[in-house]
Amino acid sequence: MDILQDNEKDALMIHCVFAVLCIIVLATPVIPEIGVRLLALVIIYNLIMPLWGLIRKDANLINLWLFALILSMLQVFPDWFLSQQLNVLVFPDDGCFRIGTVSGYMAGLWAIPIFIIVFIGERFYVRYSKRAAYAAVALVSLIIFAGSEQTLWMLPSWHAENVRMIGHVAVYIIVPEILLGLAAYFAYQHVTRLSHWYKFPAAFSVMLFYLGSAAFFYFLIEQIIIQ
């Protein structure tokens, strides 16, 4: 009996190949502007996923990718709020076009972690249980989002400022990012078998939940607990 099922093998292969591509593109600055390189990688990822789904006739892969992309585009609003209104998130000049104060590639970049997190949650649900799925989603969300905060500033991409930090990770955003993963998984579970039209309100609700939790935990940690 195979350890991995076909859809798991496909997802692992795609993301391994994409990871190697990221290393090559980011380590070989043929294009000097880091924002343009990130934008190119985001476009490649969001073309590979649906194309592979069509090739493999995997409707579930396409379904999940579409939800992740819609949520990713909406995630510009929390990033915009945190960078322009709270002044705790910085997107340096990186050569990419802007959506308000946010680098344009962010509209598609969120799709990558959202897809991975929800996919892992689904596989844990199939293999084990709903409780195991939510535990896996919470843990993977922490690893991916905290890992991104801790490393991507070196490119340089976004970075936090004017808040309490653990290394390069903003303390206030740790719980909201875990909640984002959990909310994305929960929402997707309720629209996965419905029309694609339901994905937008579901993703919009997740975005609002994340924005509200980010604002709440910023206020709680930065203004009430630590003064």
CB-based contact 15:144 (threshold 8 Å): no
Question: What pTM value is reported for the model?
Answer: 0.95
Q: Where are the domains of the chain?
A: 6-225
What angle is formed at CA 120 by the lines to CA 118 and CA 122, rounded to 5 degrees? 70
Q: Residue 173 has what DSSP assignment? A: G
Distance CA 134, CA 119 (A): 12
Distance CA 138, CA 175 (A): 10
Note the pLDDT of residue 205.
98
Whose CA is closest to 164, among 212, 227, 101, 209? 227
Whose CA is closest to 180, among 119, 86, 117, 107? 117
Note the pLDDT of residue 87.
95
pLDDT per 10-residue tile (average), the chain, 227 residues: 71 93 85 90 96 93 97 98 96 94 97 97 94 97 95 87 94 97 97 91 98 97 83
